[in-house]
Amino acid sequence: MKKKDLLFSAIQPTGGITIGHYLGIFKLWNLLQNKYICLYCIANLHSLSILNKNNLINVNIFDLVSLVLSFNIDPHKCIIFLQSDIVEHLKLYWILNCYTYIGELNRMTQFKEKSNKKINNNLSLFSYPVLMASDILLYDSKYVCIGYDQLQHLELVRVISKRFNKIYNCNFFVYPKHIISKRFSRIMSLLNVKKKMSKSDNNTNNVIFLLDNIDLIKYKINNCVTDSDNPPKIIFDINNKPGISNLLNILSGIKNVSIKSLEEYFYKSNYKKFKDILSKELCNFIKLLQKKFNFYRKDKDLIKNILLNGKNRIKNIAKKKILNLNKILNLTI
């Protein structure tokens, strides 16, 4: 039997996981765990780049792991681990900094956006993609599961990897391929459908958080934007009907049904009826999810053990990679 390929993915434990994260990333995590050797990383070192003491508390890590388990992501099938448990990420990070140009990092749109806010314009915000490169390259990850917003970072990872290999005339680092959810990686805001749904949105009515109170979710759906077509048309048309299309996408994602069958089902319905059904389905989905979440969240030992297990399963891979790196660079880190 062919050995499975390795896939890496990570998410930051900064609180506020949204329906967009579920549809765009975690649904894929769930699928991919059956196909690849999956390393799912809780990227707490990345969260440090945004200086907010709340980012560093364990609550977020426990919450995130509990959510991951609630999505039926199974630690027997994949490896869930905490980034800061493997010091080699930081060792490789420094080395890779030496092969990354300032001009390249300057071009990263996410950096431009974050640094434009000028709240906490620190150096780690700038070199953030280099830490991503270390995460990925440390384990020779053939595939990387990301959202669209991380594609530019992954392209830079490939540049760094290729550059290193070329300089040392070797094949030491892989050239990772990306896996992106075509359908769900752009779930839009509820009130401003031109903007991606984001956990850091100032207006929380734009966002469905998975740990929101159920009544609040009803309220948010009730008030979200559709359009003013008269008679109403519930069809998927991203350019002309972005509001309805986004909601159809959400419903199709949580129910695992095709957009086409939803269009047929809602033929001649009005927006009110559509929203009522969406709201009911979404609330049922989130209620069940929260039930599972509360079950796992109570069991701190379980979560600690999952992370410890994850660490133990990969630490030697990481150590070996750095040992081999030492040989190439004549170092002893």
Active site residues: 114, 196, 199
79, β-bridge pairs:
39
| CB 24, min distance to ligand TRP, A | 10
Quick check: 68 binds ligand TRP (CB under 6 A)? Answer: no
Select the span of 119-127, 142-150, 234-242, 265-273 touching ligand TRP (CB under 6 A): 142-150
**Distance from C-alpha of 153 to C-alpha of 156, rounded to nearest angstrom:** 5
Contact residue for ligand TRP among 63, 85, 88, 135 (CB under 6 A): 135
Element (H, E) at 305: helix 300-329
Residue placing its CB nearer to ligand TRP in the complex, 7 or 224: 7
Quick check: 127 binds ligand TRP (CB under 6 A)? Answer: no
- Contacts (CB under 6 A) with ligand TRP, residues 27-66: 43, 46
| Residue corresponding to tokens 């972005």 | 242
Q: Are 256 and 199 in contact (CB under 8 A)?
A: no
Contact residue for ligand TRP among 6, 28, 95, 146 (CB under 6 A): 146
Quick check: 6 binds ligand TRP (CB under 6 A)? Answer: no
Q: How far is CA 154 from CA 31, 67, 293, in A?
A: 21, 25, 31
| CB 229, min distance to ligand TRP, A | 35
The residue among 144, 133, 135, 13 whose CA lies nearest residue 86 is 135
**Distance from C-alpha of 97 to C-alpha of 95, rounded to nearest angstrom:** 5
Select the span of 2-10, 161-169, 227-235, 308-316 touching ligand TRP (CB under 6 A): 2-10
**Distance from C-alpha of 117 to C-alpha of 124, rounded to nearest angstrom:** 15
| CB 200, min distance to ligand TRP, A | 11
Site string (75-114) toward ligand TRP, x via CB under 6 A: ----------------------------------------
Contact residue for ligand TRP among 8, 29, 143, 293 (CB under 6 A): 8
Spatial neighbors of 178 by CB under 8 A, at least 6 apart, are 143, 144, 145, 146, 151, 154
Contact residue for ligand TRP among 19, 73, 105, 136 (CB under 6 A): 136
Pairing mode, strands 143-145 and 79-82:
unpaired
Residue placing its CB nearer to ligand TRP in the complex, 10 or 208: 10
Give the number of residues in contact with ligand TRP, rule: CB under 6 A: 13
Q: Are 156 and 101 in contact (CB under 8 A)?
A: no
Strand arrangement, sheet containing 143-145: 79-82, 37-42, 6-11, 143-145, 177-179
Residue placing its CB nearer to ligand TRP in the complex, 150 or 279: 150
Contact residue for ligand TRP among 12, 189, 246, 279 (CB under 6 A): 12
| CB 10, min distance to ligand TRP, A | 4
Contact residue for ligand TRP among 18, 44, 60, 150 (CB under 6 A): 150
Residue placing its CB nearer to ligand TRP in the complex, 10 or 156: 10
Burial 269-281 (b: 16+ CB within 10 A, else e): eebeebbebbbee
**Distance from C-alpha of 73 to C-alpha of 154, rounded to nearest angstrom:** 24
Residue placing its CB nearer to ligand TRP in the complex, 199 or 304: 199
**Distance from C-alpha of 187 to C-alpha of 87, rounded to nearest angstrom:** 34
Quick check: 158 binds ligand TRP (CB under 6 A)? Answer: no
Residues that bind ligand TRP (CB under 6 A): 8-12, 43, 46, 132, 135-136, 144, 146, 150
